[in-house]
Amino acid sequence: MRSVERQAAIRECVVPVDGSSTAPSLIQVLQPMPDFISYHNPDTMGYRVPDEPGFSVLTNRRPSRVLGSRVWLISGSARPRKYHLHFWFVADTVNELQDNDYQYCIKGSTGQRFAPPLSLTDFPWFRKLQRSKGNFSFGFSPVKDASIIRHLERFVDSPAGLTSGPIQTTRRRATVTDRILRDTAASARVKALHRYRCQICGATIRLPDGSLYAEGHHIQPLGSPHDGPDIETNILCVCPNHHVELDYGCRRIDISALRRVRSHRVESLFVDYHNTRVMSQTGV
């Protein structure tokens, strides 16, 4: 989709701020998206997990509710089996394959690769996951146990993790007003962790191509005169409406009311800066 068309879609899909229950049809306030496990067996597949940019998995199972969901790739090799976590990513594309041993390829541009892969074999909770997946005979499938997801999420901040995502330079986009949007790697990761759901209202935007959209807001703004840092504890995942309200000092941040995930912490120092310095100005 061309950038102009994408921005037009975004302008039409902004969540109402007046509390109205009537929203444009392209906006969906989603239930929590499921996590999925993909298992890679190099003995049967004939090759090791590729160490290359981007993220993708193959499956013969028709994917359902996978777009916007998080996918974890686990491999098992050697005798006795040793299991490793290679990466996670947020699925943004599903391609149907032809003339291939697998019917579907699920891809994502935002995620985290672990180098070297993280060993899972000796964790008690992993044996629980293994049993629930029939020793991974079920192939690509959702994880229904929330405790397993919490254990996996603890790896997200691992020093071994190499975060990958779209890194773009500062640019201007036409919205209702002309404001600068910065989509850094840190911002992309925060949005992925929150599944593109606004931390203030919980809404997300599903675009016509099926991808999800949200924006990353730097609580203490980047650049002069604020000079805020480009780090995850200074970033919120928000919808476009709330992004504008925060940018222009129209809304205070109540840190206790924010939607949270275990892997993303918001620093109160930056929230205090917004509520005192940014709110005292007519514009940023």
Q: How far is Cα 13 from Cα 23, in angstroms, rounded to an integer?
A: 8
pLDDT of residue 129 exceeding 60: yes
Q: Which residue has the higher pLDDT, 234 or 167?
A: 234
Beta bridge partner(s), residue 162: 113
**Domain parsing of the chain, residue ranges:** 3-30+166-278, 35-164
Q: Torsions phi, psi of 168, nearest 5?
A: -130, 150
Helix spans in 76-134 (H): 124-132
Q: How far is Cα 256 from Cα 247, in angstroms, rounded to an integer?
A: 20
Q: Which residue has the higher pLDDT, 22 or 190?
A: 190
pLDDT of residue 11 exceeding 50: no
* Over residues 228-252, mean pLDDT: 92
* Nearest Cα to Cα of residue 91 among 104, 109, 77: 109
Helix spans in the chain (H): 3-12, 42-45, 124-132, 146-153, 185-193, 240-247, 268-273
Q: Torsions phi, psi of 238, nearest 5?
A: -140, 160
Q: Classify residue 27 as exposed, middle or buried by CB count within 10 Å of its CB (0-12, 13-18, 19+).
A: middle
Judged by average pLDDT, the poorest of 21-25, 222-226, 234-238 is: 21-25
Q: Taking the CA atoms of 13, 16, 21 and 22 in sequence, report the sign of the dihedral they define.
A: negative
Q: How far is Cα 178 from Cα 200, in angstroms, rounded to an integer?
A: 23
**Per residue in 49-85, is it b (16+ CB within 10 Å) or e — as a string?**
beeeeebbbbbeeebeebbbbbbbbbbbeeeeeebbb
Contact at 8 Å (CB) between 74 and 120?
A: yes
What does the pLDDT read at residue 3?
33
Tokens representing 30?
A: 């989603």
3-state helix, strand, coil in the chain (%, to 5): 25, 30, 50
Residue that is written with structure tokens 């697998």 in the block: 102
What does the pLDDT read at residue 252?
95
With 0.75 as the threshold, say if the pTM is over it.
no
The winner for highest mean pLDDT among 18-22, 95-99, 160-164 is 95-99
**pLDDT tens for residues 134-146?**
989 888 999 989 8
Q: How far is Cα 123 from Cα 130, in angstroms, rounded to an integer?
A: 11
* Nearest Cα to Cα of residue 60 among 130, 132, 140: 140
Cα–Cα separations (whole angstroms), residue 70 to 35, 48, 87, 129: 5, 21, 10, 16
* Over residues 108-118, mean pLDDT: 86
Contact at 8 Å (CB) between 74 and 100?
A: no
Q: pLDDT category, 210, cuts 50, 70, 90?
A: confident
